Amino acid sequence: MEMDPQQKRAALRAINYGLYIVTATHGGQTAAAGVNWVTQASFDPPLVVVCIKPGTETHDLALESGGFVVNVVGADQIDVAKSFFRPTVVEGDTLNGFTFHTSPVTGAPHLVDLPYWFEATVTDTVTTGDHTIIVGQVVGAGVHDDTVEPLVLRSTGMNYGG
Amino acid sequence: MEMDPQQKRAALRAINYGLYIVTATHGGQTAAAGVNWVTQASFDPPLVVVCIKPGTETHDLALESGGFVVNVVGADQIDVAKSFFRPTVVEGDTLNGFTFHTSPVTGAPHLVDLPYWFEATVTDTVTTGDHTIIVGQVVGAGVHDDTVEPLVLRSTGMNYGG
């Protein structure tokens, strides 16, 4: 039986997501990308899954360095997120114009304007599909503003899925 | 450097989720469970990741049968979802009191009262953590009511993560 592509798309787009800026640093290079295919995957050890397209700089630096940072975009921060849909520009202590601090374990940047971040070291990858399923153990985390609600991607009218 | 457990929890709870009833059927047995660690992971082939605790009946039947169904809970359906936080009861064509149809490829049930569903066959598993990261290729999907918005787990005040 053939699967109806429109029903498949509608059903997969019914998965709810937030929006995250994933960063990675290796060999003096830093990249950042907007990503929404993110989930926790274990409590102990704390694991997360992040799915990123091969060939993107963030993907390659995450795998080469063995680590990455996930920055959570807040409910009213879609404009911040959109600035990371363009190529990454590092100038001084800013990333695409937004101030960052260096995360202690991975050395990848976390953005001080975004409310929550965590860093992870890569434990497993699955390369069956057109994105790499990167499993990482959470080794650092921080809160810049715990009053901010995370963005629900659906509320923006944008989606990445289907 | 030690990670602050409270900051870790707050940052991981900032990931946004929907809520899903995952079902699996094998050898005449059927189980269903409420799950929120779900994401798409590839467009072509269409892959999803679902993270489920080992030892639960749904986990074991999904791996034994090599397939599972994900039913998307709608915005006003938290009470339906809560009925699946209890052990699964199959009576005739109902699962915990809700009518189901049998999905064509996996044979696992999809619930006609929930707006969207898809079924997947298992392609990979990662067992590094305390939940199994199950990767599945989407092989069937359907829409019962495309007017229903999917539930955002955060909006219920419940969470599973941190």
Q: Which two tokens stand for residue A28?
A: 């003096």
First to last CA, chain B: 19
Size of interface A-B (CB pairs under 8 A): 201
Band (B135; pLDDT cuts 50, 70, 90): very high
Q: Determine what percent of chain B is predicted with pLDDT higher than 70.
A: 99
pLDDT confidence of residue B2: 77
* DSSP code string of B13-57: TTS----EEEEEEETTEEEEEEE--EEEEETTTTEEEEEE-TTSH
Q: In angstroms, what separates the C-alpha of A1 from chain B's closest C-alpha? A: 8
The number of angstroms, rounded, from the C-alpha of B98 to the middle of its chain's C-alpha atoms is: 16
In what order do the strands lie in the sheet containing A109-111? Answer: A90-91, A94-95, A98-102, A109-111
Give the type of residue at B37. Answer: W
Decide if A75 touches B, using CB distance below 8 A: no
Nearest to A11 among B41, B47, B143 (CB): B143
For B47-98, what is each residue's pLDDT tens digit? 999 999 999 999 999 999 999 999 999 999 999 999 999 899 999 999 999 9
Give chain B positions within 8 Å (CB) of A4. 141-142
Q: Please report which residue ranges of chain B form alpha helices under DSSP H.
A: 5-12, 57-65, 78-82
First to last CA, chain A: 19
Decide if A128 touches B, using CB distance below 8 A: yes
Give chain A positions within 8 Å (CB) of B139. 3
For A18-50, what is each residue's pLDDT tens digit? 999 999 999 999 999 999 999 999 999 999 999
Q: Are the CB atoms for B15 and A72 separated by under 8 Å? A: yes
Give chain B positions within 8 Å (CB) of A52. none
In what order do the strands lie in the sheet containing A116-126? Answer: A29-35, A20-26, A67-72, A116-126, A132-143, A47-52, A38-42
What is the value of pTM for the model shown?
0.97
Q: Identify the DSSP state of A55.
A: T
pLDDT confidence of residue A2: 77
Give chain A positions within 8 Å (CB) of B10. 116, 141, 143, 146
Query: What are the residues whose beta carbons fall under 8 Å from the beta carbon of B5, sequence distance 6 or more?
Result: none
Would you call B41 and A37 a contact, using CB atoms and an 8 Å cutoff?
A: yes
Would you call A41 and B41 a contact, using CB atoms and an 8 Å cutoff?
A: no
Average pLDDT taken over every residue of chain B: 97
Nearest to A143 among B7, B115, B162 (CB): B7
Decide if A127 touches B, using CB distance below 8 A: no
Q: Are the CB atoms for A95 and A109 separated by under 8 Å? A: yes
